[in-house]
């Protein structure tokens, strides 16, 4: 005995939606394939090119706030040179298990001195519009020449920063990325300067 509710011909299959459901399987497999490729590309970008980082501390205020989330480009310095003004992430020279974030002030061969908080590079005062008056301190630093393959790094909040004034110039091999983009909080989303 045949149950009349069960479809037995192609027209009945179409009527009950079974045929269209079977046609959807290739669409689903293509969608899953595309999703897996997208996830693999995203993982590659995050692991090898861009790293999400949470800023801890106030040494880079107001450019970067405590607990702000940013992306660090870990590949950029393979293609271009580190520039004065870049915000870099590096292994702390006194404890390489820790990472710091500071701004590049001096390049290899530069003569750096600080007089009552005013930074001079090669005898010329450095224009630092990223350091508000409230964040300048009055510390001085005797003139030093930045060694080859090294950089003089300072935090933007000079009164709250442990930087090259304390631990000296940082070797290029300690620098592993450039802070390029803020993504949290939403009020600060955008390219970093």
Which positions are annotated as active-site residues? Answer: 59, 102
Tokens of 126: 């450095």
Q: Are 68 and 59 in contact (CB under 8 A)?
A: no
Q: Are strands 141-145 and 87-91 parallel, antiparallel or unpaired?
A: unpaired
Residue 60 contacts residue 154 (beta carbons within 8 Å): no
Q: How far apart are CA 50 and CA 48, in angstroms?
A: 6
The pairing of beta strand 175-184 with beta strand 111-115: unpaired
């Amino acid at each position: 005995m045949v149950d009349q509710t069960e479809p037995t011909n192609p027209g009945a299959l179409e009527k009950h939606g079974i045929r269209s459901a079977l046609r959807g399987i290739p669409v689903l497999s293509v969608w899953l394939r595309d999703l897996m490729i997208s996830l693999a590309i995203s993982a590659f970008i995050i692991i090898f090119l861009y790293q999400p980082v949470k800023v801890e501390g106030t040494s880079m205020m107001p450019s970067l706030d405590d607990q702000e989330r940013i992306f660090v480009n870990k590949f950029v310095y393979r293609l271009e040179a580190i520039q004065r003004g870049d915000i870099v992430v590096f292994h702390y020279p006194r404890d390489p298990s820790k990472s710091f974030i500071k701004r590049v002030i001096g390049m290899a061969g530069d003569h750096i001195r600080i007089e009552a908080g005013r930074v001079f590079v090669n005898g010329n005062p450095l224009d630092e519009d990223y350091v508000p008056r409230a964040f300048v301190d009055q510390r001085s630093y005797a003139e030093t020449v930045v060694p080859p393959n090294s950089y003089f790094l300072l935090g933007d909040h000079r009164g709250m920063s442990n930087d090259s004034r304390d631990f000296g110039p940082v070797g290029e091999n300690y620098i592993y990325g450039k802070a390029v983009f803020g993504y949290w909080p939403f009020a600060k989303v955008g390219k970093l300067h």
